Amino acid sequence: MKRIHIKFVVCIVLFFLSLFLLEYIKREDMRQKEDSTENEILYSVSYDEYREEKWGNFKIFIPKVKGIGNQDLELAINRELKNEAVTWLKNDIYFSNGHQPKKPRVWCQTNRILSVELPYRNDGGRFTSFVNHFINIDIVNGKKLSFKTLITNQEKLITLLRDGKTLCSYGPIYDLDQKESDSYLRKRMKEMSDGDLNRILKQCMLPQEDFALYDEGTGDVTVANRANFFVTEDALVIMFVESGYRYYVALKFERLEKEGMINNQY
């Protein structure tokens, strides 16, 4: 009789435990679906070709978004994307003669930020010339996302760049592996003067249309040597050029947030 009673109690406990587990699994599944829906990217990115008569055969790619869910906001975003892609080349009479557009790349596509790269390449002459044009857009307000808006403390950022402990190379450098590339870049950043670092950050803040495409005296494509930035889903990436080589310094948003250097809206 006692054994039957114990078995009965065990069965009741197992029954209620099963109900609890089923309810937990159900709620967890609902929570994951809600999170998935909240983070789901609803808009797409495509590209239109654009030409100016004075450019001849030269063309550029203009990014455009679709499916934002708000027609006015979508129009504002696409207007800003076109403006950023075209304005800096409006008065060009040199760049379009040698450079050719390459396949655009989306670095970040979230419900908050769109970061796109429009690359150009010139294989004429003794050396190949690359130009990386980055466009960063705030998807919420439809405006360009500037370096000044994203980073709230440039002086502290310089300290973080020189410290080097938390930065890494976004991709390998030369023939080095990732670990060696990180070490190389950290060492290089420590060796830089305040003037050099300030110059890099200043160029990141400069509107694209305010940066000279080329030196009118020498014909050199100066825009190919400018520093710029883009964002990924978890990092700010600063690109700078030395001796024709591009370096990509990545700083995790998590660390920038911890240090109080990033706009908390992002």
Residue 63: C-alpha distances to residues 22, 69, 139 (Å): 47, 18, 13
pLDDT of 251 reads 93
CATH T-level fold of 41-143 = Heat Shock Protein 90 (3.30.565)
What backbone torsions phi and psi does residue 59 show, to the nearest 5 degrees?
Answer: -140, 165
Percentage, residues of the chain above pLDDT 70: 76
For every residue of 144-171, DSSP letters joined together read E--HHHHBS-HHHHHHHHHH-SS-EESS
Q: What is the pLDDT of residues 78-101, one digit of tens each?
A: 999 999 998 888 767 677 777 889
Average pLDDT, the chain: 83
Domain ranges, ordered by start, for the chain: 1-39, 41-143, 146-266
Whether the predicted pLDDT of 154 surpasses 60? yes
Residue partners of 217: CB distance under 8 A and separation at least 6 = none
Half-sphere exposure of 94 (CA within 13 A, CB side): 12
- Whether 203 contacts 227, CB under 8 Å: yes
Element (H, E) at 71: helix 71-86
Q: What is the pLDDT of residues 203-215, one digit of tens each?
A: 899 876 666 665 5
When pLDDT is cut at 50, 70 and 90, the band that residue 167 belongs to is confident
